[in-house]
Structure 1
Amino acid sequence: MAISNPITTSIFDLFKIGPGPSSSHTIGPMKAAFDFRHRLATLPDAVQQQADTIHIHLYGSLSATGKGHGTDRAIVAGLLGWQPETVEPDALLKLLREPDVTYPVETGKMSITVGPQHVHFERVRYDSPYANTMVLKLAAGEQTLYEEEYYSIGGGFIIRKGEPEVDPTSVSVPYPYGTMNELKAQLATHKITLDELMLANEAALTGLSRSVINQKIDQILDFMHKAVRRGLRHKGTLPGTIRLSRKAPILYQQAKGMSQSSDSFLIFLNAYCLAASEENAAGGIVVTAPTSGASGVIPGLTFLAKHHFHYDKATLRSGMLAAAAVGFLVKHNASISGAEMGCMGEIGTASAMGAAFLTRCAQPTGTINTIEAAAEIGIEHHLGMTCDPIGGYVQIPCIERNAMGAIKAYNAFLLATSGAASFQKISLDAVVKVMKATGRDMSTKYKETSEAGLALSATEC
C-alpha cells in the first residue's frame, strides 16, 4: 500500500516526561536552547573566545505569554545543559528570580554568562511560519557572531530553521498510514489488531523490542500517576500573581466521603485530572498528553481506569496505544499547539485520545470503527475552543478544562459504545480537517496570547 505522507512519530515523542507548565513554552524552548548550546561548542575557537553574551529573542505567543509560562527560565536551563527529562523542578523555578543574578554558560572553550537582561520579549510581529518563534544569538558586544532560529510547534516538538526536514517516506515502518482511513485499510489488509500495528511501527522507528516498548509505556503511566498522587497531596496556592488555590485535595476528600453516591465517580475523576494539571501549573514533572497544558486529561482517566475499573497493565497499554494513534493523526494532519489551534488543539486532542483509550480498554475485541467514533466525538465537541489563559499562566481556565475534557472523553466513549457507532456520519479524518481550518481562521487573539476572552478578566482575579 503506497502512502505518500506516513506518520513516523514515536509514542515516546508524543508522551514526553518534563516540567510544566507548557510543553510548547517550557519543554520545547528548553530543548531548543540545549541544541543551541551543543552547536556553540562546535564553533571555531576564535569565535568562542570572542563571544561575551547570548541574547534570547522571543516572538509571537512565546513573547505574549512566555513570562507566565516560564519560557525565559526554560531557555536559560537549556543553555546550562539541563534537559526536560532530568531537570530538577525546584532548581528550574529558582532561575531568574533575582534580576541581577547571571548564570555561567560553559561549553566547548566558551565561558560566558546569561541573565534576565539578555531575554527580550519582542511583541512586534515577526515574519515566521510558526506562532512560537525564538531566536538565539551569540554576540560580542553589538556584533552577532552566530544565531539560530527555532520554532516550538506544540507538545515539546521543535524545528530549527534551515534544518532539512526528514522525508517521511525515507523512514520505513511496516504498516505506514497518514489518515484514519489508511490506518483502517492497513488493519483490514493485513488482518492485524491495532496493538500489533502500533507496536510493529514503534519497533521499526526506535529499534526497541516489544518488551522494552511495553516497559516504557508502563513507565509513562507511572509518571502520570505520580503526578496525580502528588497533586492529591499538595495544598496551598499555585505560583504566579493569580494566587489560585489548589482544589484537587479538597475534591478528593469530598469524593471519598461520598463513596455511596452515584456522583462520587465523577468527583474522583475531576480530582485526578485537577491534581495532575495543578502539578503542571506548579512546574512539576508531568507527561505531555499530548501537551503539558492538557496533561491532566489522560493521567486522570488512566488513574481512574487502574484504581476504579481495575484494568490490568496489558489493558492499560492497549488503551495508550489507541490514544497514541489518535494523537498522531491530529498532530500529523492539523496541530496540537494552542498557539496554532487554540485550546481545541490541546484539550480537544487530549479528550479524543482519552475517548479512544477508554473505548479500547472497555472493548478488547472491539473494532477500530468504535475507537474512531469515540475520538471524532471528542474532537467535534471542542471545535472552536479558544486558548485565553489569564495572565499567561496555565491555570485559568486551563486546569478546569482538563477535568471537563476528561468528562467529555468519558461521554464520547459512552456514545461510541452504545451500539450506534455505525450511525456516525462524520469521520475522524473529516473532523480533523475542520479542526485545522477552524484553527487557521481563528483570530490570533484567542490563540495563547492572553489578548482576549477570559484573559481580559485578569484584573478581576
Structure 2
Amino acid sequence: MNKEQISIFDIFKIGVGPSSSHTLGPWRAAQKFVRKLERDKVLAETEGIKILLYGSLAKTGKGHGTDIAILLGLSGGDPVTFDVGQIQPTVDRIKRDCQLFLTGTHAINFNYEDDLLFLMTESLPYHPNAVTLQAFFKDGTARSETYYSIGGGFVVEENQPVDDTLEVDLPFPIQNAKDLLVWCMRTGLKVSEIVLENEHAWRSEEDTNKGVLNIFYTIRDCIYRGCHTTGVLPGGLNVERRAAKLNKKLLSGRTYTDFETWMQAIREGGTGFQYTLDWVSCFALAVNEENASFGRVVTAPTNGAAGVIPAVLQYYLTFCNGFGEEKIIQFIATASEIGSIFKKGSTISAAMGGCQAEIGVSSAMAAAALTECLGGSQRQVLMAAEIAMEHHLGLTCDPIGGLVQVPCIERNTMGAIKAITASQLALQSNPEKAKVSLDGVVHTMWETALDMNVKYKETSDGGLATNIPLSLPEC
C-alpha cells in the first residue's frame, strides 16, 4: 500500500475533459517535461520533439484527446486556465503549420504524423498509461523522459521518487478506513472535520475553504453550462446532448435568470420520486457532456466519473435544504477522504482497474459525503461508501470508439443514483451489523482489478467497444 499524503486538492483538480488519466495527466506530463528543459537551460537548444504513447494512452488516446493535451502542455497552456474555446484552433494551427512553440515562446518544426506516435502494440510494465517525450538538441544529443498517468490526473516520472514536496506532519495520518474510524472514535470528530484538520497542516483554514469553494464554483458552472448547451458531442459517434432538453422539459416553462433562481425554479416542481430522479440524471448528464466536449470540469476523482459527485451534491443542495458554504465544504471534504482511501489501497485508474475504479469510487465518495451531510454517524458514512462500491465491483471500462461518451456518460447517472441509495440504506441501518467493511471492499476491488482481463481496462478492445457498431445511436 502506498503511504501517501493526499489533499482535497489532489482528489479534486480543475482541468479540461474528457479524461483525467488520458487528458489531464498527459497534459501535466508535457508541462513537467518542458519545465525541465527550461530549468536545465536547454530549451533554446531544442530543435525537435517526439511523443511516444504506449498501452491505453495509445489505444484510446485519440478518443480521449491525449494528443491534444500533450501538444497544449508542450505549448505552455495550463488546463486550469486555458481557454477551452481555443483548444481546437490551437491544435489545428500546430498541424497546419507543422510548428510547435515550446512554452509558447520557442518555435520548432513539428510534424503531427511523424513526431507523435501511437504505439498500439507496446506497453510499459509500470502502468498502462505511459508516454515518453524526447527532445533533440542542435548539437546532436537528445533527452528522453517517461511519464505514467496513474489516474485522476496524478503523474509519476519513471525512475524518480514520489514527489514529497507536500509532506507535512499530519495530525491524523490515514492510510485506510480503519485508521480514519480510529481517529473519529478517539476524537469524536466527523470525517470532514478530520480531513479539514489535516488540510490545515498544509495551509490556513481560510485558504482551504477558499480553495474548496472554488472547486464547487467550477462544478456549479459546469452543471449549469451543461444544462443549457445543445448539439452533438465531438468525436464521430454523433451522440446528442440530452441534459439541456431534459432541463427544459422538467422546468415546464418556469423562468429563471441565474444559478440560484434556476435552483428555485427546480424546487418549485416538487419532490416527487420520478421528478427528483430525473434531475439527478440531468445533473450527471450535464457534467459529462461538458467533459466529452473538452469543457472545464473537476476530477471527482477522475474526469470520466466527474458527474457522479456533482449530481449528488446538487441533489443535496436542491432537494435536501442543504445549500450553504459550510455544508458544501463538509460534503467535498468527506468525499475527498474516501477517494484518498481508494487511491492508497487500490486504484482510481480505469486502465488499471476498469470502470469500478472510476464510477465505483466516485459513487462511494458521493455516498459517504451525502450520508455525513444528512446527519449520519462516522460508521454510517463508511458503510455508505462500502455499499456503493460493493455494487460496482467488476465494472469494466469499454468506451466505444475510445471516447468518453458511451457508456461513460450514462454510467455517471447510474453511479449517482447508487450513491443516493447507498446513503439511504446506511442511514437506515446499524453499521455494527454490517458484514463487509470499507477496507474489505477496497481490497476486493484491487484483487478484482488484478484479475480483470486487460481488454476491459480502457483499451476499447472488448465489451461494448467491440460489439456495438459505431454507426448506431446511443439509445
Q: Same fold (TM over 0.5)?
A: yes
1:377-431 Cα deviation digits (max 9, x unpaired): 1100000000000101100000000001000001001111113333211000000
Task: Output the amino acid matched with 2:317.
Answer: K
Return the offset for 1:126. Answer: 2.6
In 1, are the aligned partners of 2:351 and 2:459 still within 8 Å (CA)? Answer: yes
- 1:424 corresponds to: 434
Which secondary structure does the structure 1 equivalent of 2:421 belong to?
Answer: helix
- 1:241 corresponds to: 236
Which secondary structure does the structure 1 equivalent of 2:330 belong to?
Answer: helix
- 1:325 corresponds to: 337
Which secondary structure does the structure 1 equivalent of 2:436 belong to?
Answer: coil
Q: Does 1:294 align with 2:305?
A: yes
Return the offset for 1:316. Answer: 2.1
Q: Summarize the alignment of residues 49-128 of structure 1 with structure 2, pairs less than 5 Å apart.
A: 49=45, 51-97=46-92, 99-106=95-102, 111-117=107-113, 118-128=115-125
Return the offset for 1:168. Answer: 10
Return the offset for 1:276. Answer: 0.6
- 2:126 corresponds to: 129
Which secondary structure does the structure 2 equivalent of 1:135 belong to?
Answer: strand
Task: Output the amino acid matched with 2:400.
Answer: I
- 2:6 corresponds to: 9
Distance 1:15 1:202, change over 3 A: same
Which secondary structure does the structure 2 equivalent of 1:130 belong to?
Answer: coil
**2: distance between equivalents of 1:304 and 1:107?**
41
**2: distance between equivalents of 1:451 and 1:89?**
30
**1: distance between equivalents of 2:41 and 2:300?**
40
Q: Summarize the alignment of residues 2-401 of structure 1 with structure 2, pairs less than 5 Å apart.
A: 6-43=3-40, 48-49=44-45, 51-97=46-92, 99-106=95-102, 111-117=107-113, 118-139=115-136, 145-166=142-163, 171-204=168-201, 206=202, 208-257=203-252, 259=269, 261-311=272-322, 312-363=324-375, 366-401=376-411
Return the offset for 1:271. Answer: 0.4
Q: Does 1:458 align with 2:469?
A: yes
**1: distance between equivalents of 2:105 and 2:210?**
40
Name structure 1 gaps, 5 residues minimum: none
**1: distance between equivalents of 2:47 and 2:276?**
58
**1: distance between equivalents of 2:210 and 2:34?**
32
1:106-125 Cα deviation digits (max 9, x unpaired): 45995413341211000122
Task: Output the amino acid matched with 1:240.
Answer: G
With structure 1 as the length reference, what TM-score do the two structures score?
0.93
Q: Does 1:408 align with 2:405?
A: no
Return the offset for 1:237. Answer: 0.3
**2: distance between equivalents of 1:414 and 1:142?**
66
Task: Output the amino acid matched with 2:211.
Answer: K
In 2, are the aligned partners of 1:61 and 1:132 still within 8 Å (CA)? Answer: yes
Return the offset for 1:458. Answer: 3.5
In 2, are the aligned partners of 1:388 and 1:450 still within 8 Å (CA)? Answer: yes
**2: distance between equivalents of 1:168 and 1:437?**
31
Distance 1:144 1:384, change over 3 A: farther
Give the root-mean-square deviation of aligned CA atoms.
Answer: 2.2
Task: Output the amino acid matched with 2:463.
Answer: G
**1: distance between equivalents of 2:171 and 2:417?**
35
Task: Output the amino acid matched with 2:380.
Answer: T
Which secondary structure does the structure 1 equivalent of 2:312 belong to?
Answer: helix
1:234-257 Cα deviation digits (max 9, x unpaired): 001011110100011122223334
**2: distance between equivalents of 1:449 and 1:95?**
27
**2: distance between equivalents of 1:19 and 1:30?**
10
- 2:258 corresponds to: none
In 1, are the aligned partners of 2:153 and 2:302 still within 8 Å (CA)? Answer: yes
Distance 1:90 1:197, change over 3 A: same
With structure 2 as the length reference, what TM-score do the two structures score?
0.90
Distance 1:408 1:105, change over 3 A: same
Return the offset for 1:140. Answer: 5.0
**1: distance between equivalents of 2:140 and 2:410?**
47
Task: Output the amino acid matched with 1:429.
Answer: D
Distance 1:128 1:94, change over 3 A: farther
**2: distance between equivalents of 1:24 and 1:169?**
21
Return the offset for 1:36. Answer: 0.5
Return the offset for 1:6. Answer: 4.5
Return the offset for 1:48. Answer: 4.6
In 1, are the aligned partners of 2:75 and 2:100 still within 8 Å (CA)? Answer: yes
1:181-215 Cα deviation digits (max 9, x unpaired): 111112222343323321121121x2x21122112
Which secondary structure does the structure 1 equivalent of 2:444 belong to?
Answer: helix
Return the offset for 1:61. Answer: 0.5
Name structure 2 gaps, 5 residues minimum: 253-265
